[in-house]
């Protein structure tokens, strides 16, 4: 008996290659007599399939497994919904790097078939949640699998803020902003900012200043259970933006308070058997192979 009876399909819009892979998946899953639900955003691109459509939240609730076809950005968007229902996610890479979407489109039937047969590795990835308060009232929220970033927005100027961790004052800073990243996000924007790579099994967060005014300011790794509080300085001339995975935006005001903490729900991420995190780093980041290879 199939472990997964209903499969949800999500794909990145605007890519013929993504649509080609989705159509291959639909045929393959149909041959296995599985129920398939399509993300309603794909309705126009996949018009002749005759399969049910569902908005993202309903798709998560009705699916036993969700397959995301696209790049890591596509999976990031799906993760924020799938974590609420605990629906496992499997990624097929049709993007560039593919840290999270690790199945090659050339082997999609083989690898997806193995997962459907129960041959897979499963891991839990934690997310972050951010809340922005103004005069004590909640004015905006954001979730992120990769990172929460405070930045000046479209204005090219530094912002001032105070950082507190577990209610303890850390420092005041003038910089282009601050990246708060999960281990998943440590190989994304935070890495470009000079932050360390955190293994995904670590229960830790990394705080990476963006072009700080003082050269002594360095990335800081802290316990993932910590609560981070950022006080946006009253003297800021710009309205700093708070973004989640670069996909959701909150426009803050001087005097606002940003709170970031680990989200209670986690993403269940599936990989084919033999998945090796360090091999992924080698291939995606251009690390050297073993001598003699």
Catalytic choice (35, 39, 48, 72): 72
**In 3-state terms, the chain is what percent helix, strand and coil (to 5)?**
25, 40, 40
Taking the alpha carbons of 29, 33, 37, 38 in that order, is the dihedral positive or negative?
positive
d(CA 225, CA 206): 12
Helices 108-116 and 16-31 sit at what angle, rounded to 10 degrees? 40
Give the integer Cα–Cα distance in Å for 235 and 231: 11
In three-state secondary structure terms, 114 is helix
CB 73 within 8 A of CB 50: no
Q: Which residues, in sequence order, are bridge partners of residue 173? A: 161
Active site residue 72: yes
Q: Which active-site residues does the annotation give?
A: 72
């Amino acid at each position: 008996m199939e472990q997964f009876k209903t499969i949800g399909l999500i794909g990145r819009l605007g890519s013929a290659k993504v649509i080609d892979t989705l159509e291959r998946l639909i045929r393959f899953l149909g041959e296995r007599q599985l129920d398939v639900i399509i993300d309603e955003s794909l309705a126009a691109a996949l018009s002749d399939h005759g399969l049910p459509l569902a908005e993202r939240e309903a798709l998560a609730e009705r699916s036993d497994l969700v397959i995301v076809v696209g790049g890591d950005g596509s999976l990031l968007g799906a993760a924020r919904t799938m974590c609420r229902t605990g629906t496992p996610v499997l990624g097929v890479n049709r993007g560039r790097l593919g840290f999270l979407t690790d199945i090659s489109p050339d082997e999609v039937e083989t690898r997806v078939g193995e997962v459907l047969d129960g041959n897979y590795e499963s891991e839990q990835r934690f997310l972050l949640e951010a809340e922005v308060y103004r005069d004590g009232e909640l004015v905006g929220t954001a979730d992120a699998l990769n990172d929460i970033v405070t930045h000046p927005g479209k204005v090219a100027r530094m912002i001032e803020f105070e950082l507190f961790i577990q209610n303890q004052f850390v420092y005041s800073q003038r910089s282009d902003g601050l990246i708060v990243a999960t281990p998943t996000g440590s190989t994304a924007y935070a890495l470009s900012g000079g932050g360390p790579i955190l293994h995904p099994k670590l229960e830790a967060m990394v705080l990476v200043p963006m072009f700080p005014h003082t050269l002594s300011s360095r990335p800081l790794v802290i316990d993932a259970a910590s609560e981070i509080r950022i006080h946006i300085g009253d003297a800021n001339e710009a309205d700093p933006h708070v973004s989640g995975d670069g996909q959701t935006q909150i426009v803050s005001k001087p005097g606002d308070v940003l709170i970031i903490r680990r989200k209670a729900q986690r993403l269940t991420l599936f990989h084919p058997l033999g998945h090796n995190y360090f091999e992924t780093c080698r291939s995606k980041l251009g690390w050297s192979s073993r001598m003699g290879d």
